[in-house]
Amino acid sequence: MGTPVMLGAITRMVTLTVDGRDVRVPEGSTILQALHEEGTAQQADTPTLCWAPNLAPVNACRVCVVEVEGSRVLVPSCARTVEDGMVVRTDSEKVRHSRRMVLELLASSVDMSQAGDDVARWMTEYGVDADRYGPPAPPAAAGERDRRRAGHHHAPDGSHAETVAQPVKIDNDLYVRDYSRCILCYKCVNACGTDAQFTFAIAAAGRGFDARIATEYDAELPDSACVYCGNCIGVCPTGALKSVREHELRENDDWHPEDETVTTTICSFCGVGCNLELHVQNNSIVNVTSPSDHSVTHGHLCVKGRFGFQHVQNL
Amino acid sequence: MFGAGGGTSAYVEAEDADLLVLWGSNARETHPIFFHHVLQGLRKGTRMYSVDPRRTSTARWADGWLGLDVGTDIALANAIGREIIHADLVNHAFVDRATTGFADYAESVEPYTLERAAQITGVDAALIEELAHAYARADRAQICWTLGITEHHNAADYVFALINLALLTGHVGRYGSGLVPLRGQNNVQGGGDMGSIPAKLPGGYDLGDDEARARFEATWGAPISPKAGMHLSQMFEAMEAGTLKALYCIGENPAESEANAAHARHLLEGLDHLVVQDIFRTATAELADVVLPAAADWCEYEGTVTNSERRVQRVRKAIEPPGQARPDTHIICAVADRLGHDWGEPTAEQVWDELRSLSLDWHHGMSYARLEEHGGLQWPCPTEDHPGTPLMHARLWAEDPAEIGTPAPFTPVEHVPPVDVLDEDFPIRLTTVRLLDAYNSGVQSGGYSSPMRRRESLRMDRDDAARLGIADGERVRVVSRRGAVEAPVALDPSLRPGLASFTPHFSEEVDTNVLTNDAWDPKSGTSEFKATAIRIEKLADAPRLATAGD
């Protein structure tokens, strides 16, 4: 008897039409998977913010929407599964306009400056003009947004763009929460919850524009259920959650991503053998991540793997 | 297992198991990313039982918690085996075709009735019965264990007791069914696979295997004694007997990590010569005549490590080592050079390729290029076109009896209580436990600032503390038959009356291993870290210190 090899579930193939071209993908795929795996370069570059390969889709940001023939409204490609005979359009005026609005409204209210090169490029490609909503309103005082209750939001007068700007929360030695950069994509909530860690230290609180990610009763992290796995940092797309080390280096103008090397190795702690990507600047480890496509970690780590490298730091 | 020292299953199988038994494992804290796979299983409907003296953070996720007394696992396992036999839930098709020794096993477990097991273990008989039936009836079931099984004076027997259950029910060699020892340290599996087990050559060959030994001798150009060397516990006995006078210690901190540490330190101090090669100036290094500063190979050099699913993975250099630190292999080659053997300065890949040329069954097909391409490969991987082996011992289910090969033997084992018995003078059972954010003797994990870190305390049950008139946070004296330490008390709801715990992480605060027993398992050499008999004494005029909750 040979070595058993796991092939995964055997699935039927379905055919859909994307921008006039037939595409065949396994049944159960999402439209986004079809675009990533079988699409043109442009189709594969469908913008995403709240989607990640190692998280279940949450349909929060709507930036990946496409048109599906027969559907009254645009559908999020990250979550909609393909059907045989489905007709999809990814580049219609309706799609482009909707994506632009999503990016523009986020850019007018949230600091997207650390959201990465792809987001910056999409902003340009979709013609985002965040300034047309007026100058940004002044930042909220520390804790003010946390105290706002549902239904008590004042109506904006239109002279300024409403924002989520507020001071950075630094209440522990490992990571900061910079909610001026939070787009409420829910990735952190789901990494902390049922997609990986099952700690449930954070959830969305508040309603409408005052909605925010919060611990229970807005407790400081050391008083919350948080176990500092940092899987929330690992999935955050905008730099709202980051290590104290990265935060400090950025604050001191000592952050040099252009010089950063990323080396994959194995964690030196327990016997699970998690893949670590060591992000190194100037011979010093600045961040630790894990590849989302590896069967050991699915991209998620524990506190020791993500933060326990101080003993090899050359500072 | 069954001739190959490694777990049978890949981690991802836990996501598709119907039943998981975490036995002597608090994986939620000690193997957090393995536990992610468990949690995905639970989300999909996997049932889980926790067998642990403490109601750990793992047990809180379980459908059932069997809170047994420390050191009674064999009685529990044998009672489960007996119940499976008496309830006619044995997988006879598997037992008949793929195992030997069933009749002897059945006879050996016969005295372990549910009632007797309940008496020995303290676990409700109905709960033992429930687990026995759940395990036997599950389509796919795994038993996962850690140091709660292996840190006993008869550790190997504990493991046999669990293996017997898997054989009885056929829960081995199929996807989702297996025996999963979760290794306590990053490269325990790899270290053993590379021949650091005294009776083994690299690649899992027995030292007594003349053919294998001849191949190694031919490649290494040196004779190899067929007689096994000493394991760590035997080395300390030899130090005591005065027959071992010099020690070369690489990446280990026995002055803090050995049981009965005061005695161990005394023996280390009595050596004629002690060399320590480490990335830290450990407590052991403080005793050394020579300290060789080593690079942290996991991020300052190249190589491979092997994890608990037998996956060999590459470690790579990301940063420069500090000062004069050098990779372990370079230091060893330099030492060999001084001893008159020119080994050159081989690269990590050259060392690995030599190993592959000798480890024909397990590692031969694992070139660096393939390890890179596949994100690691699981042994056995005998050829370069072999996909690796996520799931072992599928052969036991082969149609053709010739393919089954050597059947898997039942190994009858008896319950023997811990060596360090409880009595009037030492009435409380102390066990050692580990925390999520810390690691072993703390030399690595002490470096970073964890917001979860609290001062080291004697964790104990509320009722015990009340009976002794001890308040939460009060400093007490903890005495075992080998030594005494002082520590503050922290009341811990995960403990039961008669059970207390320390971690091994903060020896600068509490030197836990001064208390532990160095009685060791003759088969594995592991000391009885999990079962120490102690008494707790109030200190005269002890100030009550602030507690974590204050």
b/e per residue, B3-33, with b = 16+ CB within 10 A? ebebbbbbbbbbbebbbbbbbbbbbbbbbbb
Contact B451 A3 (CB under 8 A): no
Measured between beta carbons, which residues in chain A are less than 8 angstroms from residue B305? Answer: 266, 273
- Tell which wins on pLDDT, A95 or B521: A95
**Cβ pair A273:B300 closer than 8 A:** no
Smallest Cβ distance to B444: which of A228, A268, A280?
A268
pLDDT digits (tens, 9 = 90+) for B463-493: 999 999 999 999 999 999 999 999 999 999 9
Beta-carbon contacts of residue A176 (< 8 Å; ≥ 6 apart): A168, A169, A170, A241, A242, A243, A244, A247
Mean pLDDT within B92-111 = 96
Distances (CA, A) of B267 to B141, B214, B325, B384, B487: 45, 36, 28, 47, 26
Residue of A nearest to B29 (CA): A302
B188-307+311-378: CATH, from 3.40.225.10, 3.20.20.190, 3.30.230.10, 3.40.50.740 = 3.40.50.740
Do residue B394 and residue A311 have CB atoms under 8 angstroms apart?
no
Please answer whether residues B145 and B69 qualify as being in contact, where contact means their C-beta atoms are separated by less than 8 angstroms. Answer: no
Residue B169 pLDDT exceeds 90: yes
Measured in whole angstroms, the distance separating CA B432 from the mean position of its chain's CA atoms is 13
- Determine the pLDDT at residue A78: 97
Query: Cα(B168)–Cα(B147) distance, rounded to whole angstroms?
Result: 24
CATH homologous superfamily for B11-181? Dimethylsulfoxide Reductase, domain 2 (3.40.228.10)
Q: Give the residue among A99, A62, A63, A67 at the shortest CA–CA distance from A86.
A: A67
pLDDT digits (tens, 9 = 90+) for B5-39: 789 999 999 999 999 999 999 999 999 999 999 99
As given in the structure block, the two tokens for residue B342 are: 């020119």
The alpha-helical segments, DSSP class H, found in B221-282 are 232-241, 254-257, 261-269
| Paired residues of B485 in beta bridges | B478
B:398-427 residues touching chain A, CB 8 A cutoff: 398-400, 403
What are the phi and psi torsion angles at B340 (to 5°)? 95, 15
Which tokens belong to A32?
């986004």
Q: Identify the pLDDT of residue B4.
A: 67
ipTM for the complex? 0.93
**Cα dihedral B455/B459/B463/B468 (nearest 10):** -80
B340 contacts: CB under 8 Å, gap ≥ 6: none
**How high is the pLDDT of residue B544?**
55
pLDDT score at B401? 84
List, in order of start, the domains of chain A with CATH numbers.
Answer: 11-134 (3.10.20.740), 138-147+161-229 (3.30.70.20)
Half-sphere exposure of A290 (CA within 13 A, CB side): 30
Cα angle, residue B507 at apex, residues B284 and B491 outer, rounded to 5°: 165
What residues of B are in contact with residue A270 (Cβ under 8 Å)? 30-32, 182-186, 439
Give the residue among A9, A24, A10 at the shortest CA–CA distance from A84. A24
Q: Count other Cβ atoms within 10 Å, centred on residue B515.
A: 27
**B59: nearest Cα among B432, B505, B493:** B493
Question: Is A270 in contact with B390 (Cβ distance < 8 A)?
Answer: no
A312 touches B at CB < 8 Å:
yes
pLDDT at B333: 95
Rounded mean pLDDT, B313-335: 95
Whether the bond into B387 is cis, omega within 30 of 0: no
Instruction: Look at residue B363 and tell me whether its pLDDT is greater than 70.
Output: yes
Residue B361's CB: how many other CB atoms inside 10 A? 15
Q: Which residues share a beta bridge with B533?
A: B429
- Per-residue model confidence (pLDDT) at position A303: 96
pTM: 0.94
Q: Which residues lie across from B315 on neighbouring strands?
A: B303
- Judged by CB atoms within 8 Å, which residues 253-292 of A form the interface with B? 261, 263-275, 278, 280, 283-285, 291
Residue B548's pLDDT is: 45
Q: How far apart are CA B85 and CA B169, in angstroms?
A: 10
pLDDT digits (tens, 9 = 90+) for B121-147: 999 999 999 999 999 999 999 999 998
Element (H, E) at B145: strand B141-145
Which parts of chain A have pLDDT scores under 70? 1-8, 315
pLDDT for the residue A2: 52
How many residues belong to chain A?
Answer: 315
**What are the residue boundaries of the structural domains of chain B, listed by start?**
11-181, 188-307+311-378, 428-538
Q: Which chain B positions have a beta carbon within 8 Å of A222's beta carbon?
A: 451-452
Class of domain B428-538 as given by CATH = mainly beta
Q: How confident is the model at residue B511 (pLDDT cuts 50, 70, 90)?
A: confident
B84-91 LR contacts (CB < 8 Å, sep 24+): B84/B132, B84/B133, B84/B135, B84/B136, B84/B165, B84/B168, B84/B169, B85/B109, B85/B168, B87/B132, B87/B133, B87/B136, B89/B132, B89/B133, B89/B136, B89/B137, B89/B169, B90/B136, B90/B168, B90/B169, B91/B136, B91/B168, B91/B169, B91/B170
- Whether B30 contacts chain A with CB within 8 A: yes
B177-207 pLDDT, tens digit each: 999 999 888 898 999 999 998 999 999 999 9
pLDDT of residue B549: 41
Task: Tell me: pLDDT of B543 over 60.
Answer: no
Query: Which residue is it, tokens 């998977």?
Result: A33
What percent of chain B is modeled with pLDDT above 70?
A: 97
